[in-house]
Amino acid sequence: MKITCSKDLLIHAVQIVQKAVATKAQLPILTGIYIAASNNILELQATDYEIGVSCKIEANIDEPGTVVLSGRYFQEVVRKLPGETIEISSSQEDRTIKITSNLAQFNLLCLPAEEFPVLKPLAGETEFKIRDNILKELIKKTVFACASDEARPIFTGGLLEVAGHDVTMVATNTHRLALKKDFIDQFDGSLKMIIPAKILNELARIMVSDVPSDVTISCQRNQIGFSFDNVYIISRVIEGQFPDYNRVIPPNFATTVTINTDEFLDAVERVSLLARDGEYNVIKLSFGNNRILITSNNPDIGKAEESVAASIDGNELDIAFNAKYVTDILKNINSDQLSFALNTPLSPASLKPVDDPNYTYIITPVRTN
């Protein structure tokens, strides 16, 4: 192999694939970045068997070939190189790769390229297109609600559901649930897949195009592939039955409250400062007299309280929540005003932006003495 390419392009490609490089691998080959050169295209790949990422860039290929280099060192070396152009060439004798740029020269030991599990695009049984900005929004508005605890795997991923023009993403840890809907061009058929939160976060990180462009999603048995720009990502999906989320959303509410989102977030964050060390990070909300009084009490540290103006329609009530579950959604509501809908101190409540009927968040209260 012998190629030259732009340093900036190579850094970009390395940043795209790096999160898929295994750090503590049982198989040493998975700690490497696979590099294939042919037809003026340099392709980088990395996989830890959970996620696989490929990124292609333009390059001048003098001699085609494939090599695998330590992901960690290749990345650090490329980032630090002095020039704008990088030359990479393999030497048959000593199984090293020479990387040169201006007067700097690195000879990195290779990993055995024939052992690398090269990614193949899914032969899509099911395939549809979605705008990258829509997919990114579906992810960002829901993925935080996933469980981090691996005890029940289906809750560590987000459910992607597509039927007709509707696309929905839902995530829950059983104590709170986030649901975001949007629309795509007609898709014939239906699809339900649970995608690991880690992969969703990675996708959202990588999709940074300035102008909206299409992502092609293809599915095949227990795998899902995302293709956009010069990037291809393949991931396993989580097997199991996601609960029927429609049954979790209360059909109606006895109390509906409208609040300024930022004022409420600031107050909740302040009052919960003292609650964090408590067992459940609990804040209490008292709805009445067109105000919400937010309080916390930590016997070891002290008490906090603050009130914010609210427009309350319906019964007055006192209710308690895990403060983190409240702040998580408030940080994801972009509209000035939110609607907080409740029934009783022990039944699930709903929080949503007033101007987006397609975004719903359900939160279960905490029982207090």
Give me the residues that bind a copy of itself (CB under 8 A), please: 70, 73, 76-77, 80-82, 96, 103-109, 266-267, 269-271, 273-274, 300-308
- Measured from the CB atom, the residue of 95 and 152 that comes closer to a copy of itself is 95
Task: Say which residues have a Cβ less than 8 Å from residue 246's Cβ, sequence separation at least 6.
Answer: none
Tokens 């999709």, residue located: 207
Reading phi first (left if > 0) and then psi (alpha if -120 to 50, else beta), residue 93 is in alpha
Complex with a copy of itself: residue 207 or 294, whichever CB lies closer = 294
Pick between residue 54 and residue 295 the one whose CB is nearest to a copy of itself.
295
Kindly state the smallest distance separating residue 46's Cβ from a copy of itself, in Å: 18
Instruction: Write down the least CB distance from residue 303 to a copy of itself, Å.
Output: 4
Residue among 68 and 271 whose Cβ is closer to a copy of itself: 271
Rounded to whole angstroms, how far apart are CA atoms 46 and 38?
A: 18
For the chain, the distance separating the N- and C-terminal CA atoms, rounded to the nearest angstrom, is 71
108 close to 69: Cβ distance less than 8 angstroms? yes
Place of tokens 């055995």: 112
| 8 A C-beta contact, residue 239 and residue 148 | no
- Shortest separation between residue 72's beta carbon and a copy of itself, angstroms: 9
Shortest Cβ 302–a copy of itself spacing (Å): 4
Closest distance to a copy of itself from the beta carbon of 355 (Å) = 26
Choice between 82 and 251, CB closer to a copy of itself? 82
CB of residue 300 to a copy of itself, shortest distance in Å = 7
Residue 104 CA to residue 171 CA, distance in Å, equals 48
Q: Which residues pair with 209 in a beta bridge?
A: none
Q: Are 251 and 267 in contact (CB under 8 A)?
A: no
Residue with Cβ nearer a copy of itself (240 or 302): 302
Provide CB contacts within 8 A for 149, sequence distance 6+: 155, 156, 173
